[in-house]
Structure 1
Amino acid sequence: MSDYYSPVAEFYDLVARTHGEGELKLRERLRLLDPAGGPVLDIGAGTGRTTLAVAETVPDVEILAVEPAPAMRAMLMNMVVRDPALSRRVTVIAEPVENLTLPERLGAVIAYGVLGHLDFEARQRLWRSLLPRLSSGAPIFVELLPIEKPMQLPTLPLASATIGRRSYTATLDGEPGEGDIMRLTSTWVTTGGPSPPQTIRNTSIWHTFGLDDLARETGLRAERLSQQAGVLYV
C-alpha cells in the first residue's frame, strides 16, 4: 500500500478534530469490550487517536498499533513513549499487517480510514488472516468514506483550524478512476504568522464499497455507528 499520509501527516489530527463522531462512537463501544479476549489490533493507527481511544476505555488490554507510514508512525511513537502507561501496553509496528505473525487470539480489530486503500483481493487476504483469530464476539470496527461507488466528488470542506498565528483550511475533491477506484485530492492552505502562505495537495487512491459489502465479504453482521463508522461482529 502506498504511503499517502506522510506528506500531510502534520495536518492529520486537524481532520480528526473536525470529524470526531466516529471516534466518539468507537469509544462508546470499546467500553463494552472484554479485555480478556486478547490484544486489540489497530490497523492503520495513524497518529494514535484510535490507539489512545482503546487505551483510555479498555483497562489493561494490550494494543498492537500498526502504522507503515513513517511520518504518521513517528507521531504515534512520540505519543506512546511520553506516557509510561502506554509504553507498557502499546506495541508500535512498522510492517503492514499482512507481513505480521499475529497472536492466536484477538479481542478486537480497528481499521479506521484504511480498508479503502485495499482492493478486493487484498481485503480477502486480510480477512483470511484475521477472522480465525477473533475471540468469541470480538468486533471489527471500521471507518469508511461515505462513497460506495466511483463518482465525481465536488470540492468539500475537510478541516479548518487556527493554531497559534497560523490558520489551516483543507478541502477534499475526487474523481472516478478505473473499476471501483476514486482518486481523492486533499488541498491544504496555510496562512498567517511570519511565514508565507503555503499550499499542499495530496492525492490518494480509494476503493469504493460500503459497510454491507464488508459484511458480505466477511460473513459477519454489520451495524452502522455513524455516517462513516460501523462495526462487524458474529
Structure 2
Amino acid sequence: MSDYYSPVAEFYDLVARAHGEGELKLRERLRALDPAGAPILDIGAGTGRTTLAVAETVPDVEILAVEPAPAMRAVLMHMVARDPDLARRVTVLAEPVEDLTLPERLGAVIAYGVLGHLDLDARQKLWRILLPRLSRGAPIFVELLPIEKPMRLPTLPLANATIGRRSYIATLDGEPGEGDIIRLTSTWVVSGGPSSGQTIRNTSIWHTFGLDDLAQETGLRTERLSQQAGVLYA
C-alpha cells in the first residue's frame, strides 16, 4: 500500500479533531468490550488516536498498533514512549498485517480509515488472515468514507484550526478514477506568524464500497455506528 499520509502527517490530528464522531462511537463500544485476554489489533493506527481510544477504555489489554507510514508512526511512537502505561501495553509495528506473525486469537480489530486503500483482492487476503483469529462475537471496527461508488466530489471543508500564530485551513475534493477508485486531493493552506504561507496538496487513491459490501466479503453481521463508522461481528 502506498504511503499517502507522510506528506501531510503534521496536519493529520487537525482533521481527526474536526471529525471525531467515529472515535466517540468507537469509545462507546470499546467500554463494553471483553477481549477475554486476547490482544486488540489496530490496523492503520496513524498518529495513535484509535490506539489511545483502546488504551483508555479497555483496561490492561495488549494493543498491536500497525502503522507502515514512517511519519505517522514517528508520532505514534512518541505518544507511546512518553507514557509508561502505553509503553507497557502497546507494540508499534511497521510491517503490513500480511507480513506479521499474529497471535492465534484477537479480541478485536480496528481498521479506521484504512480499508479503502485496499482493493478487493487485498481485502480478501486480509480477511483470510483475520477471521480465523476472531472469537465468536469479536468485533471488527471500521471507518469508511461515505462514498460507495466513484463520483466527483465538490470541494468540502476538511479542517480549520489555529495553532499558535499559524492558521490551517484544509479542503478535500475528489475525481472518479478507473473501476471502483476515487482520487482524493486534500489541500492545506497554512498562513500567519513570522514565516511565509504555504499550500500543500496531497492526492490519494480510495476504493469505494460500503458496509454492506464488507458484510458480503466477510459473511459477518454488520451494524452502522455513524455515517462513516461501523462494526462487523464474527
Report SS of the residue matched to 1:35: coil
CA contact (8 A) 1:142 1:230 kept: yes
**Could you tell me how far apart the structure 2 residues matched to 1:37 and 1:55 are?**
14
Could you tell me how far 1:30 is from its partner in structure 2? 0.2
- CA distance in structure 1 between the aligned counterparts of 2:14 and 2:141, rounded to whole angstroms: 22
Matches within 5 A, 1:84-95: 84-95=84-95
- Deviations, residues 170-203 of structure 1 (Å, cap 9, x unaligned): 0000000000000000000001000111100000
Alignment partner, residue 226 of structure 1:
226
Count of aligned positions? 234
Alignment partners' CA distance in 2, 1:68 and 1:135: 26
Partner of 1:200: 200
Provide the rounded CA distance (Å) in 2 between the counterparts of 1:213 and 1:41: 22
CA displacement at 1:35 relative to structure 2: 3.4
Quote the Cα distance in structure 2 between the aligned partners of 1:57 and 1:230.
Answer: 18
Q: Which amino acid aligns with 1:18?
A: A
SS at 1:56 equivalent: helix
1:76 paired to 2:72: no
Instruction: Give, in whole Å, the separation in 2 of the partners of 1:84 and 1:36.
Output: 23
Which amino acid is the alignment partner of residue 141 of structure 2?
A: F
Q: Give the aligned partner of residue 169 of structure 1.
A: 169
TM-score of the two chains, using structure 1 as the length reference: 0.99
Shift of 1:37: 4.5
8 Å Cα contact 1:37-1:105 kept in structure 2: no
Which residues in structure 2 correspond to 1:92-103 (within 5 Å)? Answer: 92-103=92-103
Q: 2:181 maps to what in 1?
A: 181
1:114 aligns with 2:147: no
Q: 1:32, CA displacement in angstroms?
A: 1.0
Conservation of the 8 A alpha-carbon contact between 1:6 and 1:69: yes
| Equivalent in the alignment of 1:42 | 42
Aligned match of 1:26: 26
Consecutive unaligned residues of structure 2, counting only runs of 5 or more, are: none
Q: Which runs of 5+ in 1 are unaligned?
A: none
Distance 1:187 1:219 in 2: 38
Partner of residue 124, structure 1: 124
Q: Residue type matched to 1:221 in 2?
A: R
Q: Is the 8 A contact 1:41 1:65 kept in 2?
A: yes
Q: Residue 98 of structure 1: CA displacement?
A: 1.0
Give how far 1:136 is off.
2.2
Query: CA offsets per residue over residues 188-230 of structure 1, 9 Å max, x none?
Result: 0001000111100000000000001001100001100000000
Does the Cα contact within 8 Å between 1:112 and 1:141 map onto a contact in 2?
Answer: yes
| TM-score, normalised by the number of residues in structure 2 | 0.99
Query: In 2, distance between residues paired with 1:195 and 1:96?
Result: 38
1:214 aligns with 2:220: no
How far 1:90 sits from its partner (Å)?
Answer: 0.1
**1:169–1:189 Cα contact (<8 Å) kept:** yes
Match of 1:145 in 2: 145
- Note the C-alpha offset of 1:137: 1.1
Measure, in 1, the Cα distance between the counterparts of 2:98 and 2:192: 43
The AA in structure 1 aligned to 2:2 is: S
Counterpart of 2:14, as a letter, is: L
For 2:36, what is the secondary structure of its paired residue?
helix
C-alpha contact (below 8 Å) 1:35/1:59 kept by paired residues: no
